């Protein structure tokens, strides 16, 4: 099943490399989705 291998090739970005502006935009979207 695809769910079993979905993260096999995922690249995880280190927290210190996250773009603060992008995180702010994602937080705004996630805030609307998960309220």
For the stretch 1-35, pLDDT in tens is: 788 888 888 788 888 888 999 888 888 887 777 65
Q: Residue 12 is encoded by which pair of tokens?
A: 């995880």
Q: Residue 32 is encoded by which pair of tokens?
A: 């609307």
Residue owning tokens 């090739």: 9
pLDDT (0 to 100) of residue 2: 83
pLDDT (0 to 100) of residue 34: 65
Residue owning tokens 């805030």: 31
Residues 35, 19: Cα–Cα separation, whole Å: 24
pLDDT (0 to 100) of residue 1: 79
């Amino acid at each position: 099943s695809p769910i079993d291998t979905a993260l096999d090739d995922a690249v995880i970005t280190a927290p210190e490399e996250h773009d603060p502006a992008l995180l702010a935009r994602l937080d705004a979207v996630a805030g609307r989705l998960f309220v």
